[in-house]
Amino acid sequence: MTLEEQYRRRFAGSATLAEKARVRFPGGATHDGRYADPFPLFMERASGPYKWDVDDNRMIDYWCGHGALLLGHGHPTIVNAIQQQAPIATHLGANHRLELEWADLIADLIPAAERIRFTASGSEATTLALRIARAATGKTTIIRFAGHFHGWHDALAPGADPDDPHRGVLPATLSSLLILPTDLDQVAATLATHTDIAAVILEPTGASYGSIPLPDTFLIGLRELTQQYGVLLIADEVVTGFRVAPGGACARAGVRPDLVCLAKIVAGGLPGGALVGRADLLDLLAHDENGPRGRIRQQGTFNANPLSAAAGIAMLRAVATGEPGAIAAARGTMLIQMLNELFASYRLRGWTAFGDGSIFHLFVDPATDLIPGEIPRNLPLATLKRGGDPQILRRLRMALHLNGVDLMRGRSGFVSAVHSEEDIRATVAAVAAAIELVMAEPA
């Protein structure tokens, strides 16, 4: 029986739902990252580090809500906060005390957060950051780095994926972006020769939450260059905020950006985001004695939603102790080390695991000379972004599911504070079994 035949038999319930989903949803999925061939799994429930599909197969989960669930699924602290708030109010259509408490916690953790504007998502936060940057500087051009992801909106989607033809994006929008490699010399040359640059935006740990890692020295050097040329620095910490350190990647590196984009963990796993940063920049949103003329307008039905605020408060109180992040990082480091030991024991060429604490990535491409533990570099951006050989990764994803492990797109993931050492060892054993299945499959 082939690997795909085993997959279809084990996950028959998901196969049935996938057929129905193709009728209702474009491509059968509600998020690009959840598409899978021959079909994605449909999940039914979750608890702690686990989730169960519609056929009641248990998975060790490394999606962790796309990185939003630092405390795992259904953590009592978060659940209690939501249950207490839900009967009081789910939407007040007004200012409320919870948003102030939520903002205070953010300001205590993020050094750059002089002012805070809540949004409904990370994409909204990056959109607002660009508008403020352009309004504050009177300039139009934004530097973004090839491969970095900042949401799906027109203003920043170009450049995230080298295979994206940017259909539907206006030429004028494309012309407002300069897409650069992560090379400080090229950044310096660009800043020296272009006088219309409003801001530089990046993921501080590297493209796609560190799948193409950047050292802190790059972030530090970029901050120096932007200050030298009077250009704003925007840090997209939607993924890294509160995860790689309580104050995020920039705080860990000792860098103070002008604006910081947040989401995921900030709302405790519920929908929500925020743009934080310099008071003079965020105050462009403020009404003053002259009324709203000339200011930046920003609305959002679910800005600072009370349920998200309650969950966010509970989450950030936990983050502030430093304990959840430290536990998750220790487990992630353990997983990366054990995976590389496993790959070495199989003498696998081109298989490697790497990451940043609780964030980990796999790269699999036997055509390369990578050794286990080596970070992939000097390869085409498209190869780095997809994590290696797409056919091997497709088989690996199915094999991992058959052995009870769910990675994001089968090649990366987030470790939570509730993943135990036993879960990590079970994951490595599952990867070993998956490798056997992949190796047994005809090419």
- CATH number for the domain including 292? 3.40.640.10
Predicted confidence at residue 291, as pLDDT, reads 60
Q: What is the CATH number of the domain that holds 15?
A: 3.90.1150.10
Check whether residue 193 and residue 342 sit in a common domain: no
> Does residue 230 carry a pLDDT above 70?
yes
How far apart (Å, rounded) are the C-alpha atoms in residues 395 and 389?
A: 10
Check whether residue 268 and residue 389 sit in a common domain: no
Check whether residue 211 and residue 191 sit in a common domain: yes
- Residue after which a domain boundary falls, among 300, 319, 338: 319
Number of domains comprising the chain: 2
What pLDDT digit, counting tens, does each position of 183-211 carry? 999 999 999 999 999 999 999 999 999 99
How far apart (Å, rounded) are the C-alpha atoms in residues 149 and 209?
A: 8
Check whether residue 263 and residue 396 sit in a common domain: no
Domain of residue 337 covers 1-71+321-438
Check whether residue 227 and residue 179 sit in a common domain: yes
Check whether residue 171 and residue 207 sit in a common domain: yes
Are the beta carbons of 262 and 274 closer than 8 angstroms? Answer: yes
- Residue after which a domain boundary falls, among 291, 319, 347: 319
> Does residue 133 carry a pLDDT above 70?
yes
Query: Using a CB cutoff of 8 Å and minimum separation of 24, what contacts does 292-297 make?
Result: 296/131, 296/132, 296/135
pTM of the model as a whole:
0.97
| Angle (nearest 5°) at CA 66 between 64 and 68 | 70
Across all residues in the chain, what is the average pLDDT? 97
Q: Is residue 197 part of a domain?
A: yes
Predicted confidence at residue 132, as pLDDT, reads 98
Dihedral sign for Cα atoms in the order 294, 296, 298, 303: negative
> Does residue 441 carry a pLDDT above 90?
no
Question: How buried is residue 116: exposed, middle or buried, by Cβ count under 10 Å (0-12/13-18/19+)?
Answer: buried
Q: Which of 124, 166, 64 is nearest to 419 (CA)?
A: 64
What pLDDT digit, counting tens, does each position of 333-390 carry? 999 999 999 999 999 999 999 999 999 999 999 999 999 999 999 999 999 999 999 9
Lowest mean pLDDT among 117-121, 161-165, 180-184, 229-233: 161-165
> Does residue 290 carry a pLDDT above 60?
no
Question: What are 284's two structure tokens?
Answer: 């462009």
Check whether residue 415 and residue 386 sit in a common domain: yes
Q: 353: Cβ–Cβ under 8 A, 6 or more apart, which residues?
A: 335, 336, 339, 340, 343, 360, 361, 362, 363, 372, 373
Region for 124 from its dihedrals, namely left if φ exceeds 0, alpha if ψ lies in -120 to 50, beta otherwise: alpha
Binned at pLDDT 50, 70 and 90, residue 289 comes out as: low
Are the beta carbons of 78 and 312 closer than 8 angstroms? Answer: no
Check whether residue 288 and residue 249 sit in a common domain: yes
> Does residue 130 carry a pLDDT above 90?
yes
- Residue after which a domain boundary falls, among 290, 319, 348: 319
Predicted confidence at residue 294, as pLDDT, reads 72
What pLDDT digit, counting tens, does each position of 306-332 carry? 999 999 999 999 999 999 999 999 999
